[in-house]
Amino acid sequence: MQNITILGATGSIGVSTLDVIARHPDRYRVHALTAHSKVDELAGQCARFLPEVAVVGSAQAASALSALLKKAGVATEVLWGEEALCQVASASGCDTVMAAIVGAAGLAPSLAAARAGKKVLLANKEALVMSGQLFMTAVAESGATLLPIDSEHNAIFQCLPGDFSRQPERHGISRILLTASGGPFLNRAVETLDTVTPEEAVAHPNWVMGRKISVDSATMMNKGLEVIEAAWLFGASAGQIEVLIHPQSVIHSMVSYIDGSVLAQLGNPDMRTPIAHALAYPERIASGVAPLDLTAMAQLRFERPDLRRFPCLKLAYDALQAGGSAPALLNAANEIAVEAFLNRQIGFRMIDQLIDRVMNTIPHEPVADIGALLEQDERARALARECLQ
């Protein structure tokens, strides 16, 4: 029996994870569930999965949840705040942590799980983008198992040899081919991009996801963050990771070898596949995803991304190459910019301009520890907010 903590249980990934877990009650038990503010949803999940602990974002949310659970006769203990998130991510009663909080808020608990040597299923890419070296060192030192949930990275993982050592050259790998759908604005006239609405930006053609990652997909910052994520997960350099637009989202990524072989992972665009893969790894379990019908498929297309249409992708490659705190600055500025766009404070094209401004104003530095990292993160957020005024 695997005992699981789900950080971000009420989100898109959290809900898909519970859907897979519910199919295998003989294999998985829920240790803890967390949510920021969706107390009603979390109460419903607690009543169904009976975790030992539930964590929310504030004292107010905690008392609302406690009242709901009491009424329903559910004995789950209720806690709140970042320390409690770290506690349920590292608790001795949990073996596996699904890290599915969105953004930098997920860094501390994801890192706590890594330090505690858990099996960490990583959806929260922002945590790895921010803390890259520190996170990977924590995993190595504690003996944690890190498995990627992001569909592209999960696909790449599945296309790598079993004894992969984070040294692509040693295994005859020439390139990692990271596929991208291109999002909702792939074919929209570039001059009209500044007038797109948040509703248009979050309407992804192939995937149903949270609002922040949906906007990131529209700017292709999501792919940029994924390039940095892939660099850390697979020990690859920027030059070894190529982004390829593939609008059908059927091939989830590929690995190209020096002998000319290209291995790909295919499937319907449904996150329950990578979630089930990582939960059961190295075994396989049913996920509820419909089998892929190749005969029903139209053409599979591939093209190179246009960096004038998607400047965020270039900003992310630049940050990866710069190293140190540059990816953390990029991520922080992006989080502020996306929030401002979703709140209709700025236009769509201001997102990349704001990030560019922050990256060009704050010099990136080597990051020795989490304290230094959070300082840089805060500096970037403060400057981005100042630019918004």
Of 354, 364, 327, the C-alpha closest to 104 is 327
- For residue 228, the one-letter residue type is I
Instruction: Say which entry of Mg ion, ligand NAD, none residue 35 contacts (CB below 5 to 8 A, set by partner kind).
Output: ligand NAD
DSSP characters for 182-248?
A: --TTTTS-GGGGGG--HHHHH--SS----HHHHHHHHHTHHHHHHHHHHHHHHT--GGGEEEEE-TT
Contact between 253 and 179 (Cβ < 8 Å): yes
- Give the residue nearest to ligand NAD (CB): 11
CA distance 73 to 52: 13
Sites for ligand NAD among residues 142-181 (CB under 6 A) = 150
Q: Does 229 bind Mg ion (CB under 5 A)?
A: no
Does 100 sit near ligand NAD (CB under 6 A)? yes
14 binds ligand NAD (CB under 6 A): yes
Interaction with Mg ion in 132-191: which residues (CB under 5 A)? 150-152
- Residue 211 CB, shortest distance to ligand NAD, in Å, is 6
Residue 86 as a binder of ligand NAD (CB under 6 A): the answer is no
For residue 277, what is the enclosing H or E element? Answer: helix 272-280
33 sits near ligand NAD (criterion: CB under 6 A):
no
13 touches ligand NAD by CB under 6 A: yes
CB of 253 to Mg ion, least distance (A): 9
| 36 lies in the binding site for ligand NAD (CB under 6 A) | yes
- Which residue spans within 9-103 are E strands per DSSP? 28-34, 53-56, 77-80, 96-99
Give me the sheet containing 251-257, strands edge to edge: 241-245, 173-180, 251-257, 262-266
Task: Give the 3-state secondary structure of residue 175.
Answer: strand
Smallest gap, in angstroms, from Cβ of residue 217 to ligand NAD?
9
Smallest separation, CB 387 to ligand NAD (Å): 22
The closest alpha carbon to 247, from 199, 207, 295, belongs to 207
What does 123 interact with, of ligand NAD, Mg ion, none (CB < 5 to 8 A by kind)? ligand NAD
Using CB under 6 A as the binding rule, whether residue 35 contacts ligand NAD is answered as yes
Q: Does 267 bind ligand NAD (CB under 6 A)?
A: no
The one of ligand NAD, Mg ion, none whose footprint includes residue 236, by CB under 5 to 8 A per kind, is: none
Number of residues that bind ligand NAD (CB under 6 A): 25
Contact between 102 and 9 (Cβ < 8 Å): no
Identify the three-state secondary structure at position 296.
helix
324 contact choice in ligand NAD, Mg ion, none (CB below 5 to 8 Å, kind-dependent): none
| Under rule CB under 6 A, residue 4 binds ligand NAD | no
- Residue 221: φ, ψ to 5°: -60, -30
Name the site residues for ligand NAD (rule: CB under 6 A): 8-14, 35-36, 38, 57, 100-102, 105, 123-126, 150, 207, 209-210, 213, 271
